[in-house]
Structure 1
């Protein structure tokens, strides 16, 4: 592992333990990749039945 990179990340996050740093890095990686995959789906499902929406009426 790159010791300089680890030291910089520890300083930025205020973490002293390398295991905590790796845990946070893995969480961030999983979150980023999950969001990327969701965005890649494009938000469309052509065969999906229309979903009833709530209508807001003026008060």
Structure 2
């Protein structure tokens, strides 16, 4: 995984966290859900890229 990919996924994760936090403050459950979804998606992609990198190094 390149540095650009890592940075992109980190940004997506932080945007998701911001959305979740904003949703909590405003009471917007849809925004909270969207934020959690974006965070989970970024974590899943990070895991997949890590697995892919581990096989590429062998």
TM-score (norm 1): 0.49
- Which structure has more helix as a fraction of its residues? 2
Where relative contact order (Cα < 8 A, 6+ residues apart) is larger, the structure is: 2
Look at both structures and tell me which one has the larger radius of gyration over its CA atoms: 1
